[in-house]
Chain A
Amino acid sequence: MALLNRKSKVSDEIPTASMADIAFLLLIFFLTTTVFEEEKGLPIVLPEASAIEQAVSQKNIIHFLVQQDGAVVIRRGESQAEQVVAYSEIEGIMRQEIANNPSIIAAVKTDPDSPYRHMINVLDELQKANAERISLQLWER
C-alpha cells in the first residue's frame, strides 16, 4: 500500500520562471554581436560632367605625378622643375603649399598602368594635409 501511494516528488513541469532571462540574454547577445559593415574611405567630389573646363593659372597648380612603380614626382606649375619625393614628405609639402597659396590645386596624375594603391597613398597624404582642391587625372604622356 505504501508503495502504491507514493508519488513522485520530481515535478513534471518544465520550469519556466527563468525563460524570460534566457530570452533577454539571447536578445542582448544578438544586439551586441551584430556588427554592421561600416562604410569608410576617402571621400571626394568629382567635377560635374557639365562643368566647363576652366583655365587655371599654372602657378596655382602643383602636379603629383605617380609613376608605374609608385614613385612620386612633384612638378610645380611654373618652373617645370621636377622633384622626386617620398610619400611621407607629401603631407608637409602640401601644408606648406596651402599656407603659401590657399587656392592651390593638387593635380594627381597617375600612370594608367600604376596600381591603384599608389594613387590612394598620395590622396591619403593630401587629405591628411587638409587639401580641399584635388584633381585626379590620368597621366597621358
Chain B
Amino acid sequence: MAKKRGGFEKKSKAASEIPTASMADIAFLLLIFFMVSTTFRREQPRHLSFPRAQATQKIDERRRNILHVWIEPSGDVYINDARIPMEQVGEVVLPLYRESDRRLLVSLRGDRDVPYRFINSVTEELRSANAVRVFFHTDLESRLTRERR
C-alpha cells in the first residue's frame, strides 16, 4: 500500500540546478593558471627605432625558435642581454642554432641609423654559423603615414 501510494509522490532527489558554489574557485584557478603559465621573454627591451617598410610581414614561427639580435646605432651587438663582440657573434649563435634543431630564425633588430657595415658584418657572422634564415625587423608603414623620402 505504502509503496503504491508513494509511487506518484516520489520526487527526484537529484538537484535540477547546476551547483554554482564552486564556480568562483574554478574561475580563480583558471586565472591563476594563466597568470603563472604565461612566460614573458626574459630580455630587456632595447629602445631602438626600427626602420619602416610597407612589405612588413608577420612571421609565423614558434617563439622559442626566434633569436633576437640587437644592433645599436654605435654598432654594438646584443644577444640575450649580453654585449657580444662582432667577431664572436657566429660562435655565440652556432650552439643556439644547433639547439633549435636547425630551425633557428634570427630577428635582426637594427636601429634605423646603424651604418650598413655593421649589419653586413652581422649577416656574415650569421652565415658562418649557418643561421641563414633571418628577417630584418621592421615596423609596418602604411601608405598614408609614409614619410617623404
| A38 → chain B closest CB, angstroms | 6
The answer to whether A87 touches B149, judged by C-beta atoms less than 8 angstroms apart, is yes
Chain B residues lying within 8 Å of A20, measured Cβ to Cβ, are: 20, 23-24, 26-27
Number of interface residues, chain A, beta carbon within 8 A? 46
Interface size class of B (residues with CB under 8 A): 35 or more
| Contact present for B120 and A39 (CB under 8 Å) | no
The one of B31, B134, B141 that contacts A26, using a Cβ cutoff of 8 Å: B31
Q: How many A-B residue pairs have CB under 8 A?
A: 150
- For A138, the chain B residues whose CB sits under 8 A away are 116-117, 120
A22, A31, A41, A119: which has the most chain B beta carbons within 10 Å?
A41
- Measured in the bound complex, the distance between the Cα atoms of B149 and A43 in whole Å is 23
**Contacting B57 at CB < 8 Å: which of A19, A41, A136?**
A41
- List which B125-148 residues lie within 8 A (CB) of chain A: 126-128, 130, 132-141
27 contacts between A and B (CB under 8 A): A27-B27, A27-B30, A30-B34, A37-B41, A38-B58, A39-B59, A39-B66, A41-B59, A42-B53, A42-B56, A42-B136, A42-B138, A43-B59, A43-B134, A45-B132, A46-B123, A48-B132, A70-B149, A87-B149, A112-B116, A116-B71, A116-B110, A116-B111, A120-B52, A120-B136, A120-B138, A138-B116
